[in-house]
Structure 1
Amino acid sequence: MSCNASSISNPFAGPDPAEIRDINIHERVPVVLDATDSTYFAWKTYFSLLFRENNLVDHVDGTVDSRAMLDDSEWTAINATLIRWFFTTIFKDPFHTVVSDGDNARAMWVKLNGLFTDNKLQRRSIDEYCRRLKTWADELRDIGAKVDDDLLLSTLTVGLNEDYAMPPPTSP
């Protein structure tokens, strides 16, 4: 990254937003984050390296209060670029899980990482249970005994222990 005039006069100045915006994220992060743990470590590692290489760590590590930076056009431009990078490097399921209007790059980074680090054991148990149910439903469908979505959902929620059970849907 080249030095711009402000970084020469101010050694603490951040990166140039135009240079950050022009980074080809798919070359620098050649992994797409999906709902499984198999891509998470590589995805996070590539992003962590990219943040360090381009002096962007403070946008995601919480050391800078991003609310205090709302009037800084360079900060907000880089923040928007980071959010776009996250959106374009994750599959639809995690995207819909973490997207909230008004989130900054730090909030997105925390949410995305939380999907893969919070309650890992419980999540794996639920994932395995869901995979088994889906496999059974597919096997039944293959022999002509289709399982409708309502029955599958009912079976799913009945099989979860009380910590994960969802309340039954209510009629409108």
Structure 2
Amino acid sequence: MTKEGEHTSGSGKPGLHPVYSVTNILHKVRMLDGVKITYSSWVKLFLLHAKGYKVSHHIDDTRPPAKADPTYSDWCEIDAHVLQWIYGSLSDDLLLRVLESESTAYEAWTRLENHFLNNKGSRASALENEFTNLSLKKMASLDEYCQKLKDLAAQLNVVDSPVTDKRLVIQLVRGLPSEYDTVGAFINQTMPSFEDARGMLQLEEQRQSSRSDSESAMALAAPVNPQG
């Protein structure tokens, strides 16, 4: 039986726990700021790495060993590392909201969850408003527009206001300018998946860009009629 701070290698011999191999959590998990990196995206990444480094039980409702248990000291040390992961991957503003002088990783995880998931009704209303009013003209590029829609849909799912793929496609088309009317009408008729619709729009964007370049080149090559 191995201790909490050890794991069994392929040779069957106990070795140092994988958690100690992480020197900078930001090399594994993006910093959560609630804007560029959403809570739902951050949770997915964090859970993935927690599972990979065998510390998932430090952020779920698994009870820690009793203080009299021989593994308790090692558990506390590893828990401190996981707590550092959480604190180290938060923006300064979020860190101030959840930082406590005495805390387990699970307690910090729960405080962060409560911060984002409390008042679901008001958060859902604000997200729904942003989702339905988003348009391509408000974004820097088509890719950014598509990704923002996906992020908002993911956030709505977290607050129990799920967005179906069909509704995501409908909103994608609704926010397009008039130059995408033809391809938008085709998407509405065929109702492909969101990723397929995104691909169609990217092809249309490339087509329009190529046509614009060709027209510019022809204008420059056109002879100028002499006056007089």
TM (norm. structure 2) is: 0.44
Across the aligned residues of Structure 1 and Structure 2, the Cα RMSD in angstroms comes to: 3.4
Query: Kindly tell me: are residues 91 and 72 of structure 1, through their superposed partners in 2, closer, same or farther at Cα, counting changes over 3 Å?
Result: same
Q: How many residues align?
A: 118
Q: Post-superposition shift, 1:38? A: 4.8
CA contact (8 A) 2:55 2:82 kept: no
Query: Which 5+ residue runs of structure 2 have no aligned equivalent?
Result: 1-5, 128-228
Report matched runs for 1:100-139 at 5 Å. Answer: 100-123=100-123
Give the structure 2 partner of residue 45 of structure 1: 44
CA contact (8 A) 2:82 2:105 kept: yes
Q: Which amino acid aligns with 1:56?
A: V
Q: Which amino acid aligns with 1:58?
A: H
Query: Which 5+ residue runs of structure 1 have no aligned equivalent?
Result: 1-5, 128-172
Q: Which amino acid aligns with 2:64?
A: D
CA contact (8 A) 2:65 2:72 kept: no
Identity %: 25
CA contact (8 A) 2:87 2:95 kept: yes
SS at structure 2 position matched to 1:41: helix
CA contact (8 A) 2:83 2:104 kept: yes
Report matched runs for 1:1-172 at 5 Å. Answer: 7-8=7-8, 16-17=16-17, 19-23=18-22, 24-29=24-29, 31-36=30-35, 38-65=37-64, 68=67, 72-123=72-123
* Alignment partners' CA distance in 2, 1:15 and 1:122: 48
Larger Rg: 2
Q: Which amino acid aligns with 1:60?
A: I
For each residue in 1:118-172, what CA deviation from the matched residue of structure 2 results, as whole angstroms up to 9, or x when unmatched? 2123246689xxxxxxxxxxxxxxxxxxxxxxxxxxxxxxxxxxxxxxxxxxxxx
Q: Post-superposition shift, 1:25? A: 1.3
Q: Post-superposition shift, 1:106? A: 0.4
TM (norm. structure 1) is: 0.56
Give the structure 2 partner of residue 131 of structure 1: none
Greater relative contact order structure (CA < 8 Å, 6+ sep): 1
